[in-house]
Amino acid sequence: NAGVTQTPKFQVLKTGQSMTLQCAQDMNHEYMSWYRQDPGMGLRLIHYSVGAGITDQGEVPNGYNVSRSTTEDFPLRLLSAAPSQTSVYFCASSYSGKNTEAFFGQGTRLTVV
Amino acid sequence: GENVEQHPSTLSVQEGDSAVIKCTYSDSASNYFPWYKQELGKRPQLIIDIRSNVGEKKDQRIAVTLNKTAKHFSLHITETQPEDSAVYFCAGTYNDYKLSFGAGTTVTVRA
């Protein structure tokens, strides 16, 4: 049982490049979400999904797209990377979303130069 | 949405002493308040949570208290040990699904 798996762990992008951060969970969780973590700002919600085919925006969605074609996978796409997107990204999943523990992936450290 | 404020941002305690972290929230409809611990370079992990129908919850050396009237909740760590050194985040839910996190408290336990 791997839990929540994110790839890659580290990535360097040039300004304007696009890429996809992968997230997969094997716990059959309905709810998945993406956060970014910046120093002194905690974790901020980018996008979330309450089930396959359903996604919605969080606090800081601009510059990011998501899709949820299966229960297991929730990729995050950066459309045109900017230095302001330099951050550590965490994917999380939980059984139902409401008042249940969120399990986090190991994180992706992204640097945009 | 929910606004969660967390204090202090850094906390240094002597091994064996207690540590207290306080959080306030803005949305009176929030009803779930988890605490996460993040060790350096690792992922956040849940250490304790409390729901709005409960005023206090304990798990060994960790306790959380909730005051819904004042809209604040606190984490208490007793008999601190070096392995308690980490960043701690409080959070509150809003709109049922969204977790809003505080900015974090870096706790250092001095030997």
What would the pLDDT profile of A31-57 be if each residue is shown by its tens digit?
999 999 998 888 999 999 999 999 999
Task: Fill in the DSSP letter of residue A95.
Answer: S
Considering only CA atoms, which of B101, B99, B87 is closest in space to residue B23?
Answer: B101
SS3 A98: coil
* Residue ranges of chain A with per-residue pLDDT less than 70: 1, 97
Residue B52 has pLDDT above 90, yes or no: no
Give the span between the Cα atoms of B105 and B102, in whole angstroms.
Answer: 9
Report CA-CA distances (Å) from A62 to A14, A49, A106, B92.
18, 16, 23, 23
Residue B88 has pLDDT above 90, yes or no: yes
Answer yes or no: do A45 and B100 touch at CB < 8 A. yes
Predicted confidence at residue B29, as pLDDT, reads 86
Predicted confidence at residue A63, as pLDDT, reads 97
Rounded to whole angstroms, the maximal C-alpha distance in chain A is 39
Q: For the residues B81-100, what does the mean pLDDT come to?
A: 90
Distance from CA of B6 to the nearest CA of A (A): 10
Residue in this structure with the two tokens 């700002």, named with its chain if needed? A41
B8-49: pLDDT as tens digits: 999 999 999 999 999 999 988 888 999 999 999 999 999 999
B98 → closest Cβ in A40, A58, A107: A58
Q: Which of B3, B43, B57 to mutate to test the interface with A (most CBs of A within 10 A)?
A: B43
Predicted confidence at residue B98, as pLDDT, reads 83
Using a CB-CB cut-off of 8 Å, the residues of chain B touching A41 are: 103
Predicted confidence at residue A90, as pLDDT, reads 98
Give the span between the Cα atoms of B91 and A65, in whole angstroms.
Answer: 24
Q: Could you write out the DSSP letters of every residue in chain B?
A: ---EEEE-SEEEEETTS-EEEEEEES-TT--EEEEEEE-TTS--EEEEEEETT-SEEEETTEEEEEETTTTEEEEEE-S--GGG-EEEEEEEEETTTEEEE---EEEEEE-
Predicted confidence at residue A41, as pLDDT, reads 86
Q: Across the strands, what pairs with B11?
A: B107
